[in-house]
Structure 1
Amino acid sequence: MLEYLPQHLRDHLEAAHRRRTRRKSRLRVELGDAVFPLTRFWQDGFALEARLAPARMRGLVDVYDGSRHIFQCLIVASETEEGELICLFKRATPVASQPALDYWRDENAPVGYLPKM
């Protein structure tokens, strides 16, 4: 349906859509010292604005929701489609707030030892 509109109207609609998605998204990606806002995020990938991001993106990146670190993603493929850089990742590891335990902790285990009387 958009094919029937004049080119300048299509450009304005696309620019308005990009502004709206950029404004409502708090997600961002950090690659080294560079920071890029995400426009979309799904189960095995995410999208960035192509004009703000490098032509290709690969490797380990950090994904943040505002200031909260939520994922570390390993990007294996990226391509540009319709003004967006589409990045697909192999894994997205959630970031834990505490280190992993190397032993099994029972819920009913005692907290400490009781002294002998």
Structure 2
Amino acid sequence: MPTFLSQEVLAGLHAARKRDRKRNSRMLVEADGKTYRVLSFWDSGFALDAETASHLRGFVDLFERGQHLYQCLIVAASEDDGRMCYEFKRLTAIQDRPPVDFVVEDTEGLALPRPSA
């Protein structure tokens, strides 16, 4: 016996699924002074809501809970099920301190030599 759902019920289920994805996500993308919530994130890209995010491209910044994680160069890849998928051309992790141009020696665990008697 086939089960049939009306268009209103399907639309309600789709809206609830979209709302749940937005609520569970803690990552944000900042592009051109605007902020968008990331619906899903994977190794080679991420997805945004297709209704709120236009076809972004170029440099964007990725944040998680207010912490700047990555600076990315992106290109729009595809639109699927109300989500706009973007792929990374470049993904650079943000460092919390400036890079050094010298070797930093590890001094932890070194003991002072015993004095000779």
TM-score by length of 1: 0.83
Q: Which runs of 5+ in 2 are unaligned?
A: 109-117
- Give the secondary-structure state (helix, strand or coil) at the position aligned to 2:22: helix
- Aligned partner of 1:17 in structure 2 is 17
**In 1, Cα distance between equivalents of 2:74 and 2:67:** 20
- Give the secondary-structure state (helix, strand or coil) at the position aligned to 1:9: helix
Larger Rg: 2
Cα distance, 1:101 vs structure 2: 0.9
Query: Over residues 64-109 of structure 1, what are the superposed CA-to-partner deviations in whole Å (9 max), with x where a residue is unaligned?
Result: 0021001111103332221111101122111110001111111139
Q: Which runs of 5+ in 1 are unaligned?
A: 110-117
TM-score by length of 2: 0.83
Identity of aligned residues (%): 35
- Aligned partner of 2:113 in structure 1 is none
- Aligned partner of 2:39 in structure 1 is 39
Aligned residue-pair number: 106
- Aligned partner of 1:103 in structure 2 is 102
- Aligned partner of 1:81 in structure 2 is 80
Q: CA RMSD in A?
A: 1.7
- Aligned partner of 1:94 in structure 2 is 93
Moved >4 Å (runs of 4+): none
The answer to whether the 8 Å contact 1:22/1:37 transfers is yes
The answer to whether the 8 Å contact 2:22/2:38 transfers is yes
- Give the secondary-structure state (helix, strand or coil) at the position aligned to 1:107: coil
